[in-house]
Amino acid sequence: MPSCGPAAAQAHQKPISNRLLINIAYYQARVKCDAARYRKLCAMVSLRVTRRVLDGMLVGAFAVFSLYVVVRLEFRPRDPAAGIGVVFAPWTDGEQAMRRAVTAGGRFVRFGGLPFIVIVIPDRGDYMDRVAASGALLIVDPQALAACLPFSSDNRADDKS
């Protein structure tokens, strides 16, 4: 009469052959190898993506810097006594921009097309250096500024009349 229990279960099991053990070991090694290969492939793809993103950021930074240099050199005020357009950071509000421009030694004339652009007439010859030290991003000729910005305050006054 067959008995039930752990001893009976062990009696009915077939012994595992050496060939089966070798196959199990082979597949385990292959899975480990595939996992290592997969990690290496992921690292290579990640490196390629990182390089492309870095390359894109470098090209973008170079383009912005080049545009900044061209604007700074080309739109420099030709006659500072007639007026200077001072461009501050876009997050600078109008009152703060006006205060910085006047504190550096200029007389307020008007705002530009946006509140962070201030048109002033300098009182001293070293005004451009002083306003640059107070945080101005660009110092431009106000006529060139009005010609380049379609939403300049001069254009808005013409549209209303």
**What residue segments make up the domains of the chain, in order of their start?**
1-74, 80-160
Which has the higher per-residue pLDDT, 1 or 66?
Answer: 66
Tell if the pTM clears 0.85, that is, is over it.
no
Tens digit of pLDDT for each residue in 20-61? 666 666 666 666 666 666 677 667 667 777 888 888 999 999
Report the pLDDT value the prediction gives residue 53, as an integer from 0 to 100.
84
Per-residue pLDDT band for 70 (boundaries 50, 70, 90) equals confident
Report the pLDDT value the prediction gives residue 65, as an integer from 0 to 100.
92
Residue 137: burial class (beta carbons within 10 Å; 0-12, 13-18, 19+): middle
Distance CA 106, CA 109 (A): 9
Which has the higher per-residue pLDDT, 157 or 76?
Answer: 76
Per-residue pLDDT band for 148 (boundaries 50, 70, 90) equals low
* 8 Å CB contact between 2 and 8: yes
Residue 111: burial class (beta carbons within 10 Å; 0-12, 13-18, 19+): middle
**Average of per-residue pLDDT across 134-155:** 70
Tens digit of pLDDT for each residue in 71-128? 777 778 887 888 888 889 889 888 999 998 898 888 888 888 888 888 999 988 888 8
Report the pLDDT value the prediction gives residue 33, as an integer from 0 to 100.
65
